[in-house]
């Protein structure tokens, strides 16, 4: 598929600029990394910052835990709060979005007969967490079926259609993982609030990919990973809680800050390695230095190019698949012969890695198989060209 390299691949960046930026990552150059969305990729400067925190903890553990770590965590938390445009002391640091979801569910008072609503786009571990806590309380899950190409109004309608007078909590994605959909979380939260239902937004992919102002969404709870699109080390996420709920939500693990109010109670989790938290300000500085608006435009355009290129090579139709222009992840449908294989996603992902030297996410939703492609500054258009041609040959 032909392209204008300046328009598609560079998106306003000078070629030398991109070369310098790509050198910030120590990714294996023998393969194409087209799956930033799953685990992110940590720039060298952030890894160095994290390593320095680990060195400090090993050089003098007493001094580290007594003098260095507490203010370091507070500085990191404050940096995360500013990054998300939130009010001071409205956000705690947790390991990842799944931890944040489980934290809210563990503290949310459910009674027998109560209901939690999710959609059929929900992340698998989030659905499992909701099922565990609902079952323990004698509550039940309600799953809203949301079509892949549903309009914002149709998304809201599908979700509210399964709500009843027993619905207590709605868990909804900001950006869906398996289907790369941007949900209208402002509209959804308002509709839930009108019905007296609390909303927990799983924003795992939002920080960095989207310009988030978390306290304007209208949700009761929101959690997002910094180690995906904001260049942080793994694992660090922010758990935002509306003021009315802050006294009720407690950390999953009881530790020495237990008596403090939110968010300080979350700051001390014993001797866990929280060097990723401590290096978060370095990651957010790196993100800011990459000109966020320009970065997003580059990634979004490159993801769209990858989607179109792979779909064209496979001969699959993008009608109804979607692809929001503000997202750096896109779906390309797999041929029906591949989609029909119930256990084929993991096997295909392994085969792609082994035979094509490429890393992608293979997802399955409503018995359809997709390649989920991500785009980041270290990617280039020729990587999607190469992958598209290789995948088409592999699936013949």
The 8-class DSSP code of residue 45 comes to: H
Q: Rounded distance, CA 15 to CA 36, Å?
A: 21
CB-count exposure of residue 193 (10 Å: 0-12, 13-18, 19+): middle
- pLDDT of 153 > 70? The answer is yes
The 8-class DSSP code of residue 9 comes to: I
Task: Give 256's pLDDT tier (boundaries 50, 70, 90).
Answer: confident
pLDDT of residue 269: 85
How far CA 375 is from CA of 73, 360, 372, in Å, comes to 30, 11, 10
The DSSP element (H or E) to which 242 belongs, if any, is none
Q: Is the peptide bond before 49 cis (omega within 30 degrees of 0)?
A: no
The neighbour count for residue 313, using CB atoms within 10 Å, is 20
The neighbour count for residue 38, using CB atoms within 10 Å, is 14
Structural domains of the chain, ranges and CATH numbers in brackets: 5-30+291-394 (3.90.1150), 48-286 (3.40.640.10)
pLDDT of residue 4: 45
The DSSP element (H or E) to which 103 belongs, if any, is helix 97-107
Contacts of 390 (CB under 8 A, 6+ apart): 355, 356, 358
CB-count exposure of residue 150 (10 Å: 0-12, 13-18, 19+): middle
Q: Which two tokens stand for residue 321?
A: 């698949």
pLDDT digit string, tens, across residues 297-325: 999 999 999 999 999 999 999 998 978 99
What string of DSSP letters covers 171-185? EEESB-TTT--B--H
- pLDDT of 9 > 50? The answer is no
Structural contact between residues 173 and 183, judged by C-beta atoms closer than 8 angstroms = yes
Q: Rounded distance, CA 67 to CA 53, Å?
A: 13
pLDDT of residue 1: 44
Average pLDDT over residues 150-164: 97
Q: Rounded distance, CA 294 to CA 144, Å?
A: 36
Nearest Cα to 210, choosing from 282, 147, 287?
A: 287
Average pLDDT over residues 60-69: 96
- Residue 351's Cβ-side half-sphere holds a number of Cα atoms within 13 Å equal to 11
Q: Which has the minimum average pLDDT: 116-130, 186-200, 250-264?
A: 250-264
- pLDDT of 10 > 60? The answer is no
């Amino acid at each position: 598929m032909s392209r204008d390299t300046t328009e598609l691949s560079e998106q306003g960046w000078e070629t030398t600029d991109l070369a310098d930026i790509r050198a910030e990552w120590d990714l294996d150059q023998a393969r194409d990394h087209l799956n930033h969305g799953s685990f992110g990729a940590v720039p060298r400067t952030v890894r160095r910052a994290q390593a320095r925190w680990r060195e400090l903890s090993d050089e003098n553990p007493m001094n580290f835990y007594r003098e260095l770590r507490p203010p370091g965590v507070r500085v990191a938390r404050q940096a995360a709060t500013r990054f998300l445009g939130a009010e001071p002391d409205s956000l705690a640091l947790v390991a990842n979005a799944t931890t944040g979801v489980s934290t809210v569910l563990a503290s949310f008072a459910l009674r027998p007969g109560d209901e939690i609503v999710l959609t059929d786009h929900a992340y698998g571990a989030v659905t499992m967490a909701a099922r565990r806590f609902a079952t323990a309380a004698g509550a039940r899950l309600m799953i809203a079926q949301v079509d892949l190409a549903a309009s914002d109004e149709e998304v809201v309608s599908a979700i509210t259609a399964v709500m009843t007078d027993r619905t207590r909590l709605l868990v909804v994605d900001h950006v869906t993982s398996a289907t790369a959909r941007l949900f209208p979380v402002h509209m959804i939260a308002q509709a839930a609030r009108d019905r007296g239902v609390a909303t927990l937004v799983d924003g795992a992919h939002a920080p960095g990919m989207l310009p988030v102002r978390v306290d304007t969404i209208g949700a009761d709870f929101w959690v997002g990973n910094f180690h995906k699109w904001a260049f942080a080390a793994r694992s660090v996420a922010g758990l935002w809680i509306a003021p009315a709920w802050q006294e009720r939500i407690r950390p999953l693990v009881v530790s020495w800050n237990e008596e403090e109010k939110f968010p300080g109670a979350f700051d001390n989790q014993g001797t866990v390695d929280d060097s990723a938290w401590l290096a978060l300000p370095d990651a957010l500085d790196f993100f800011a230095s990459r000109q966020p608006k320009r970065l997003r435009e580059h990634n979004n355009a490159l993801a769209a190019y990858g989607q179109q290129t792979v779909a064209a090579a496979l001969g699959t139709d993008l009608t109804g698949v979607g692809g929001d222009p503000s997202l750096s992840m896109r779906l390309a449908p797999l041929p029906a012969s591949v989609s029909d294989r119930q256990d084929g996603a993991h096997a295909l992902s392994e085969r792609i890695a082994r035979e094509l030297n490429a890393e992608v996410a293979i997802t399955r939703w409503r018995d359809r198989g997709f390649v989920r492609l991500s785009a980041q500054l270290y990617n280039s258009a020729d990587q999607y060209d190469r992958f598209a041609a290789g995948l088409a040959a592999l699936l013949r």
